[in-house]
Amino acid sequence: MLPSKKPTTLKSRPPIVTVMGHIDHGKSTLLDYIRKANVVLGEVGGITQRLTAYEAVHKNEKGEEKKITFLDTPGHEAFSKMRKSSAVAADIAILIVSAEDGVKAQTLEAWKAIDNSGIPFIVAINKIDRPNADIEKTKMSLTENSIFIEGMGGNIPFVPISSKTGEGVPELLEMVLLLAEMEDLKGDTARRAEGVVLESHMDSKRGVTATLVIKDGVLKKGMYVTSKGDISPVRNIENFLGKNIDRADAGMPISITGWSGLPQSGAGFNSFETRKDAEKWVEEFREASRETAKIGKQIREKKEGILVVPVLIKAEAIGAIDAILHEIKKVKVENVEVKILATGGGTITESDVKTVSSDSDGIILGFGVGTDASARSSAERFSVTIVTFDIIYKLTEWLAEELEKRRPRQEVEVAEGKAKVIRIFSVEKNSQVLGGRVTEGVISLGDNVKIMRRDFEIGRGKVIELQQQKLKSKQVTVDLEFGAKIECKHEISQGDVLEAFVVIKK
């Protein structure tokens, strides 16, 4: 008799997709087209979309109906912060580019937000129905801006579309589902829901309402949700059409009303079975926030130019911590100090991440320990660095290299030479041509210069042309005469002294 298969609680979930790009390149038109063409029949006509997200259904090549969740996020550059939050909430991004205009500043801003989030993306070349559309020119524009699509030296998929006529949109959705399949997106039906807050607002009749997207787990009526220091009972769950539902699964956008405060867009949320557990989580978060606020105050009080890096250490055995602390004291990096926030034994947990989450420079070092899934998820949301090691000297080597990368650099002026101005040949709006003699050191092409008159600095400029004996020169040494063009806004006179210097970072 064959053994029965164990039931799995992991189920495929819909991909969560954000569309980003220039404000005039058709993002809203694409979302509207997909909403009208792909939301379940009978629902769109009768019920208005309630949330800044919706679920679409696409029938794939096999005839199977697959759900896709789209986030309707702002497209203007003024909403850059929210847009970056949506990239964190999303699994896949669509970067939309006009076939008429090519890459614009907001296109690059959107691409950088996607690139920083680390999620896969598709380029949608839109407006191919327009008379001035030029797909090949648009491809070249992408390449020139280091966005390397397939067939142009890269592996980023692209799909030509018209969000007005719908041409290419089914192929775009097919590509989204293909990427989702490659990412193997799963939701655990045995877990409590967790995900990201998309937005929140105060409703004069209903109280504080927040739109959430579930990344994993299940949310049911009667549970409680928390986000940072805010909490809400789950009395009602509304889907994107405003319908009350009893249960929400991974990949779904939902609305929850009754929050104690306004949750932040882009912040993570967790859920709990009881109010007691939810309140305990919120209090732990607030306590950690108070502690990190104290640390932040201490850091701000440090003298200028010194970076204080908070570090939390977890080890498999408490005895190892003393050895690690001893070795860390030997790590010396100029203008950087290490502040040990806490130490402890066992696995790196979400609570550890909370302890350092308010400081972007925070590091969690693990020695011979693992990191649980919730800690990894929180670390991604709060940009906390977690690294683990099995050899102490490898830990300290990594820390020394990391501190050196973060070390604040100071700009220092290094004197190169001096020259006396002998004559002035011509004066233009922002430059002067003059003759001089080097009295100390050297004068080099590209040097910055201080313009000194009777030992007082009257302005600064830059050597943009340099000649010696009417021949172009890169450098003139002591006691030699030269001709130079100085870029400056201050009038130089015969008898002034030019003090050449270069600026270096130390």
Q: How confident is the model at residue 41, as a pLDDT?
A: 43
Average pLDDT over all residues of the chain: 85
**Tell me: the pLDDT tens digits for 259-275?**
998 888 778 899 999 99
Which of the four CATH numbers 3.30.70.20, 3.40.50.300, 2.30.40.10, 3.20.20.60 does domain 11-186 have? 3.40.50.300
pTM beyond 0.75, yes or no: no
331 burial class (0-12, 13-18, 19+ CB within 10 angstroms)?
middle
C-alpha span between 210 and 85 (Å, rounded): 15
Domain ranges of the chain: 11-186, 188-273, 288-406, 411-505
Q: What's the CATH number for 411-505?
A: 2.40.30.10
DSSP characters over 160-201:
E--TTT-TTHHHHHHHHHHHHHHHT-EEETTSBPEEEEEEEE
For residue 7, the model assigns a pLDDT of 59
pLDDT (0 to 100) of residue 86:
60
Cα torsion through 155, 161, 167, 171, rounded to 10? 20
Cβ-contact 324, 392 below 8 angstroms: yes
Q: What does the pLDDT look like over 251-262, one tens digit per residue? A: 999 999 999 988
Domain 288-406 bears CATH identifier 3.40.50.10050: yes
d(CA 275, CA 171): 46
Angle, CA of 132, 28 and 67, to the nearest 5°? 115
DSSP 8: P
Of 3-12, 150-159, 278-287, 358-367, the range with the highest mean pLDDT is: 150-159
What's the confidence (pLDDT) of residue 207?
Answer: 86
Same fold flag, 11-186 and 288-406 = yes
The CATH number of 188-273 is 2.40.30.10
